Amino acid sequence: MLPDRSGPRAHDHGHTQRLDTDLEGADWSANELPAGQRLELEEEPARGHSYWSLSVHRLFRKKLAVVCLSVILVMYVGALLSPLITPYEYTAQDLSQSRAGPTLAHPFGADRLGRDMMTRVIYGLRTTVIITIISLLGGTLILGIVLGLLSGYMGRWVDSVIMRTGEVTSSFPDIILILIFVAALKPRLVGLVQGFEDATGIDWILRLGILDYAIISFALSIFGWFGMARLVRGQVLQARESQYTEAALVAGASTARILRAHVLPNILSPLIVSISAGLAGVAGSELVLSWIGIGVQPPVPSLGRMMFENGSIQVLRNEPHLILFPIGAVTLLFFCFNILGDAVNDAFNPRAR
């Protein structure tokens, strides 16, 4: 690595010296310093600006990312408020409008049963959005962080069990196991819930597809936690070894405070990055499951199911709007996920720059 030593000695010495400090400086600051200090050196000397606000600021400087974030927010909020903003019921049929093309009354046209496509696309988005949120909250955030903390803090056999289980879940093609999992367990659970509904007189659990949401979110969570858990565990192990934790302990800080003040800041940005990267993945899995036919069941609208039903060559030839609008919605969402994920990675990941 060193250049040859034939040049003037003083210059040579100075040169290698600089190289070394450069390399080591970069490595050490990434590992040891709390991220904020290093960044404040890079940016203008911004006193009182946390690492968090600097990252957000960096993200908002990118126009395209802001546009994508806005599109995602609009789609998410719109999807969650779908009963309020859609002009029709998603089950409302008008057979005279069967397979009608886009008109003012039905901007996206109507499907085979004369149901308004725009309404169904928005409700379909709601399905995707709900499952994405639950899976990411449950799988990545709760399971991942709790198991990672446990693993790192308890060590010994707890650590081994959690890490080996994670390696198992991440070492085979997940979509296949999710398929088997859902196909095997769902009919049992449906039976149980039916019994429960009969006994209590509640009738909306199956009708609104809540059970479907729960099963799919659960199945996706099982396969989604390991990356986060490994990350949290690594940070905990690192914090446990570090002198600032020792100093905090000596000063009488509680475990909770050490976790909050020393471990959490270190996992916050990888957390944001992994969530923004995971959005598209979870949404994609939900769409695949619904497409194959074991996801959310009709009449609850799902974009995956819509694309399956309208994917045939006859529909493509005669009523392409039945598939192009769902495709357009999903494509727009995925484009925005990808561009935002990339921008978030640039802005929040100190190692990526």
Partner 1 sequence: MGAYAARRLVWLPFLLIIVTFVTFALLRVGPGDPVQVWLGQHQNDEVRERLRAQLGLDDPLVVQYVRYIEGVVTRLDFGESFQFRGKSVGELLAKRIPVSLQLNLAAIIITLGVGIPVGLYAALRQGTGVDNVVVAIALAFQSLPVFITAPVLLLVFALYLDILPTSGWDGFFSPKIVLPATVMGVPGIAIVVRLVRASVLDVLGQDYIRTARAKGLSETIVRWRHILRNAMIPVVTSFGFTIAGLAGGTFIVEIYFGIPGVGFFTINSLFARDYPVIMAFAIISTTLFMLANLVVDMMYPLLDPRIRLGAGNVT
Residues that bind partner 1 (CB under 8 A): 1, 167-168, 171-173, 175-177, 179-181, 183-185, 187-188, 280-281, 284, 287-288, 291-294, 304, 307-308, 311, 313, 316-317, 320, 323, 327, 330-331, 334-335, 337-339, 342
Q: How far is the CB of 250 from partner 1 (least distance, A)?
A: 29
- The answer to whether 303 and 329 are in contact (CB under 8 A) is yes
Residue nearer to partner 1 on the CB measure, 58 or 305: 305
The distance of closest approach from Cβ of residue 160 to partner 1 in the complex, given in angstroms and rounded to an integer, is 11
Name the DSSP class of 221.
H
* Closer residue to partner 1 in complex, CB, 51/226: 226
* Tally of CB atoms within 10 A around 251: 8
239 or 333: CB nearest partner 1? 333
Whose CA is closest to 100, among 115, 89, 83?
Answer: 115
- Shortest CB 110 distance to partner 1, Å: 19
Q: Which CB, 60 or 335, lies closer to partner 1?
A: 335
Q: 60 near 66, Cβ under 8 Å?
A: yes
Sign of dihedral through CA atoms 181, 79, 98, 111? negative
Q: Minimum Å distance from CB 68 to partner 1?
A: 10
Q: How many CB atoms lie within 10 A of CB 141?
A: 18
Give the HSE-up count for residue 121: Cα atoms under 13 Å, Cβ half-sphere.
25
Q: Which two tokens stand for residue 247?
A: 């100093």
Judged by CB, which is closer to partner 1: 54, or 289? 289
Least Å distance between CB 223 and partner 1?
Answer: 12
Instruction: For residues 298 and 90, give the distance between their C-alpha atoms in angstroms, rounded to a whole number.
Output: 11
